[in-house]
Structure 1
Amino acid sequence: MKKSFCYSTAVSQSSCSADMSSSPSYSQASTGSPKQNGNGPASSDPEAPKLCLGSSWLCRKHEVPGWMFILCLGVVVVIFLISAICISKLPHPAECPTDWIQLSSRCYYLSDNRRAWNASEEFCNSHGASLLVIMDNTKKDLDKLNTHGDFWIGLRRDQNKWKWVDGTDYDGKVEGYQNGRQLHCAHRNEGIGALDCSTQRLFICSKTARGPLS
């Protein structure tokens, strides 16, 4: 075993210096802490890569300040939330059921079989609709539908007044008599006339388009 002390003589001191320089304990003391091995603590070498706040792929050799990462993350979250709100407020396309015709925001069903007025209204009601109520906005649709021939509409005599099935009054004139007998159900041909409610006629149903519908 090598001695850890030296005599003050010139000869012994020179040999002691050689012994101490070769000693492991002396080597560690003179060079600082031992070099890092594979399982040792992180090196203090200034050239070594620095860790970054966040994912390791974000940066390898340059440190990103924590406040900058948080700021960028906040901006991304805000943009995502704004986009989600805008998309949710976009009008969804309205749809009509199969075999119905869509014009603007309304759906129309043109029957291909004849029914009495009451049976026609019941059929329309079963599909969330009613017999056609002719208003200013539906008159243009009727021209586009290019309907010909007569068909039941949603107009009926209520006591001495003609009313649409939505409860609004009809201010126009209806020929409501046939051979002196009062008629109660309206149909549309070239104009609006009245027929016996048991008469078999084609009909048109109408309702507001709502999407999506089945």
Structure 2
Amino acid sequence: MQGRAPREGTAGPWEPVWLEAGAEHRRGACYTTSPSSSRQASHCGAWGARPENDPCLFSSDTTTRLLLGAIAVLLFAILVVMSILASKGCIKCEAPCPEDWLLYGRKCYFFSEEPRDWNTGRQYCHSHEAALAVIQSQKELEFMFKFTRREPWIGLRRVGDEFHWVNGDPFDPDTFTISGPGECVFVEPTRLVSTECLMTRPWVCSKMAYT
């Protein structure tokens, strides 16, 4: 005897049943039947209101909690990694100039407060891996006088009949003019002046900024 085809709305064991439009739930809710004696069916795909003890509600709520928990763990891991990377980066980071030094262009400058003779100022600069300031432009001179009005020593000195910078560069008279009969040079707002090296003045150190 040939088996009959299942009617619409019914199915054999473990086969999906699609309800018609006028059924208890709207069309599109997939039922899975079981051969158990109670003929219980799960209807997690059904639309419409469900009772509080519906297992579909429990499953959906559990899935949501697991998803939120996974997102929280992922965000925490990202924060930890970013914190570690930031701390490592800061170890390598350092200011372009030492504390109490000022940056201008690619150089760091230190302006002393106490007056000393030219050689003492030079020794101080050397002890900080710097030199008495070598000025290369009028703008650099103007920058210096924004921070000092006390006409400080710079790294220029007479050697024989010529002036030389402490870094060995020759002095260019087309950039600045020097007045005075002395051996060591200090700066005024608009010119350079040479005087005796034993005179006491503040001084300016300079060195290349850290890169």
Per the normalisation by structure 2, the TM-score is: 0.50
The higher-RCO structure (CA 8 Å, 6+ apart) is 1
Q: Which of the pair is proportionally richer in helix?
A: 1
Find the structure with the greater CA-based Rg: 1
**TM (normalized to structure 1)?**
0.49
